[in-house]
């Protein structure tokens, strides 16, 4: 078995950017033969000395994203002294910003992960989507920025989570002929409730695959055409009663549907 090459990823923040870049490059050189040693939150010269020593011992490369001038300069100096290859991922782009926009960088690590108001808004929205998923608590209908309705397997839950990541509080309600629709649904302002529909063929294929993953027979009533047509017909009648906009999710990525939802909200 050949020796695994090592790349040292170093950052004065989390270091996600550097690791992703290294992985993208490593994929071009048999990624499973290249190991990544990741060191985050480097804060002093001792940390850098330790990494330089390891990289020299392994005849390795250091790839880094360090924004504090003193640490970056020290790493470059020590790497040169020890004849260790060190690649600064941020410097060329940062210099281009300085020259183009005539501004100086803040030189503060971790700014992309600052716990600002928008971050907490996302967290609240994600917790909301989990709590009010699949009509678990009907209070969510009144509190939600968006209420999604549709039959089973129309991407209500993944769409709710995707929109939550964008900061929207989303509740979703499954439409099942045997289950009465909550009266709260008819009180939702029309612009905040959105119906999701799908073609019978697409829904049939999705439900069969779902049954297969669950270890059940694909001919169960859940995936039968008569049942699917019955559910879609029922859902259409409910959506007409609610008077909500409708999006066809057939063959659509979650991102596409989410953009359609946001466009409707903006209108």
pLDDT in tens, 40-77: 888 899 999 999 999 999 999 999 988 888 999 999 99
What pLDDT, on a 0 to 100 scale, did the predictor assign at position 183?
A: 94
Give 252's Cβ-side CA count (13 Å radius): 22
Both 35 and 123 in a single domain? no
- 136 backbone dihedrals φ, ψ, rounded to 5°: -65, -35
Residues in the chain: 267
Both 84 and 128 in a single domain? no
Both 101 and 201 in a single domain? no
Q: Known binding site: residues?
A: 150-157
Average pLDDT over residues 160-179: 95
Task: With CA atoms as reference, report the closest residue to 61 among 97, 29, 93, 92.
Answer: 29
Both 16 and 94 in a single domain? yes
What pLDDT, on a 0 to 100 scale, did the predictor assign at position 32?
A: 66
Which residue, of 113, 130, 147, is where some domain finishes? 113
Residue 196: strand pairing partners: 247
Token code pair at residue 35: 């190991």
Both 94 and 125 in a single domain? no
**Separation of alpha carbons 48 and 110, rounded Å:** 18
pTM surpassing 0.75?
no
**Mind listing the pLDDT tens digit for each residue in 196-231?**
999 999 999 999 998 988 888 888 899 999 999 999
pLDDT confidence bin for 113, thresholds 50/70/90: low
In this predicted structure, the answer to whether residue 133 has a pLDDT above a threshold of 60 is yes
Q: Are 125 and 172 in contact (CB under 8 A)?
A: no
**Mind listing the pLDDT tens digit for each residue in 240-256?**
999 999 999 999 999 99
Both 141 and 100 in a single domain? no
Which residue, of 63, 86, 113, is where some domain finishes? 113
Q: How many independent structural domains does the chain possess?
A: 2
In this predicted structure, the answer to whether residue 110 has a pLDDT above a threshold of 70 is no
Q: Known binding site for ADP: residues?
A: 150-157
Task: With CA atoms as reference, report the closest residue to 163 among 198, 199, 113, 128.
Answer: 128
Both 14 and 121 in a single domain? no
Which residue, of 113, 133, 167, is where some domain finishes? 113
H helices present in 102-216, as ranges? 117-131, 139-143, 156-165, 200-213
CATH number of 223's domain: 3.40.50
What pLDDT, on a 0 to 100 scale, did the predictor assign at position 24?
A: 84
Q: How far apart are the first and last CA of the chain?
A: 61
Average pLDDT over residues 174-184: 95
Residue 85: strand pairing partners: 61
In this predicted structure, the answer to whether residue 2 has a pLDDT above a threshold of 60 is no
**Segments forming the whole domain that contains residue 75:** 5-113
Residue 132, judged by CB atoms within 10 A of its CB (0-12, 13-18, 19+), counts as buried
Q: Are 172 and 182 in contact (CB under 8 A)?
A: no
3-state secondary structure of 189: coil
pLDDT confidence bin for 187, thresholds 50/70/90: very high
């Amino acid at each position: 078995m050949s020796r695994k090459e090592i790349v040292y990823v170093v950052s004065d923040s989390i270091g996600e950017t550097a690791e992703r870049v290294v992985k993208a490059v490593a994929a071009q050189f048999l990624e499973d033969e290249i190991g990544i040693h990741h060191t985050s939150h480097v804060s002093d010269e001792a940390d850098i000395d330790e990494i330089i020593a390891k990289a020299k011992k392994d005849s390795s490369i250091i790839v880094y994203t360090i924004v504090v001038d003193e640490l970056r300069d020290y790493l470059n100096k020590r790497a040169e002294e020890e004849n260790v290859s060190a690649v600064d991922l941020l410097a060329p782009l940062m210099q281009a910003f300085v020259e183009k926009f005539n501004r100086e960088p803040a030189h503060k690590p971790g700014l992309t992960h600052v716990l600002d108001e928008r971050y907490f808004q996302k967290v609240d929205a994600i917790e909301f989507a989990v709590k009010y998923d699949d009509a678990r608590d009907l209070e969510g209908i009144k509190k939600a920025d968006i209420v999604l309705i549709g039959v089973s397997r129309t991407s209500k839950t993944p769409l709710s989570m995707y929109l939550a990541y964008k900061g929207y509080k989303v509740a979703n309600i499954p439409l099942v002929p045997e289950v009465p629709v909550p009266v709260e649904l008819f009180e939702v302002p029309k612009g905040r409730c959105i119906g999701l529909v799908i073609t019978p063929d697409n829904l049939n294929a999705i439900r069969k695959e779902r049954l297969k993953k669950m270890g059940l027979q694909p001919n169960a009533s859940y995936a039968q055409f008569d049942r699917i047509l019955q559910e879609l017909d029922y859902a259409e009648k409910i959506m007409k009663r609610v008077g909500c906009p409708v999006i066809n999710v057939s063959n659509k990525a979650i991102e596409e549907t989410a953009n359609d939802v946001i466009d409707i909200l903006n209108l």
